[in-house]
Amino acid sequence: MEKLLCGVDLGGTKLSVGLISVDGRIHDKLTVYDHVGKNEIMIVDQIIRLIKQLISQNELSESDLRGIGIGFPGHVRYKDGHTLTTSNLKGFKNFPLRQAVAEHFMIPVLLDNDANAQAFCEYKFGAGKGYDTVIFLTISTGIGAGIILNNKLYRGITGTAGEFGHTIVNSDNNQICTCGNEGCLMACACGLALPYLFKKKTEQGIITTLPLPDDFNYSHVDGKMIMKGLEIDDPLSKAIIQECADYIGIAVYNIFQILNPPLIILGGGLTCWGETYLTRIRKKFHELARDMIFDKIEIVEAVAGGDAGLIGAAALLLE
């Protein structure tokens, strides 16, 4: 039997560890939620115990695994295997996560950003299969991305390349991002922007037909609520989806001009808005790109589901 890959998807709400086959299928996995609020050392312990438990409950030994790939929700210094920053977990500032895990195993351990892992999953097993160059954008609460050029993840000097979410697309816009800047893509077009957009459009006089609870405040607005609005043809929800889609269309256009890829894959929670959203993104892109497109460029939805981060982290061992 070909060796299995071990993937670790360390998220802000969920910690999953899985055994993944080289063709991207999940052999077994364990998921916990009680890592939230713990410090780095305790989380490392938890990861090690989960990996050992998986090995044992599958009657395997460590040598049946090719290695361990870890996806981390934040900046990573790739070469050193250090985490740099994260908004989703406590601590992990300059923390040697790869080394802390590797000390407990004989097999190779890799650490990368979670969006890179998801991108690699799509490239290897999902919508990017067969392409050698793929740009992946994940649009959820925030916006992450991964750049695959000529069959390799492009990481840059530190390992933080691909932060399209932080690129400025509207320098006159005063919507503020968690990074502190105004007018970057994340400030304009992800889950974090929805409360602001709901307020702005309400103040512009756009009505909503969504039933709002008595204790409603704008911070309740999220992607699912806007999805419900879309289902009942709510004018305000549709206006928000259009504005978000137009900004993603601009980002897709910028990616096209900079990297000239054959394929851009869109994933993440807000793609639940479906064809209305995707069609509008493509429309905005084509309005901007017009006669500057010389070769076919596809803008498609991600196909790997909620386990993309887990499978991708494992797949990093195949890079």
> Where do contacts with a second copy occur on this chain (CB under 8 A)?
75, 77, 84, 133, 147, 149, 154-164, 166-173, 179-181, 183, 247, 250, 253-254, 257-262, 288, 290, 292, 294-295, 297
Answer whether 301's CB lies under 8 Å from 271's CB. yes
Q: Tell me how far, at minimum, the Cβ of 171 lies from a second copy, in Å.
A: 4
Taking the least distance from each CB to a second copy, the nearer of 103 and 287 is: 287
For residues 24 and 268, which CB has a smaller minimum distance to a second copy in the complex? Answer: 268
Q: Which is nearer to a second copy, 156 or 306 (CB)?
A: 156
Contact (CB, 8 A) for 38 and 24: no
Closest CB to a second copy among residues 129, 224:
129
Q: Strand 134-139: give its sheet, edge to edge.
A: 152-153, 143-149, 134-139, 263-267, 298-301
Output 277 or 285, the one with its CB closest to a second copy. 285
In the complex, the smallest distance separating the C-beta of residue 179 from a second copy, rounded to whole angstroms, is: 7
Distance (Å) of CA 170 to CA 204, 222, 296: 20, 22, 27
Nearer to a second copy (CB atom), residue 93 or residue 220: 93
User: What CA–CA distance (Å, rounded) separates 199 from 27?
Assistant: 46
Q: How far is the CB of 178 from a second copy (least distance, A)?
A: 11
262 CB-contact burial (10 Å; exposed 0-12 / middle 13-18 / buried 19+): middle
> 66 or 75, CB closer to a second copy?
75
User: How do beta strands 65-72 and 4-10 pair?
Assistant: parallel
Strand order in the sheet with 65-72: 26-32, 15-20, 4-10, 65-72, 109-113
Q: How far is the CB of 154 from a second copy (least distance, A)?
A: 7
Cβ proximity to a second copy: between 51 and 252 the closer is 252
State in angstroms the smallest separation of the CB of 160 from a second copy: 5
Calpha distance 296→221 (Å, rounded): 37
CB of 87 to a second copy, least distance (A): 12
Helix/strand/coil for 120: helix
Start-to-end CA distance of the chain, whole Å, equals 20
Q: What is the token pair recorded at 266? A: 């869109």
In sequence order, the 6+-apart residues with CB closer than 8 A to the CB of 130 are none
What token pair was written down for 284?
């905005």
DSSP 95: B
CB of 156 to a second copy, least distance (A): 2
Closest approach of Cβ 108 to a second copy, in Å?
22
What single-letter amino acid sits at 60?
L
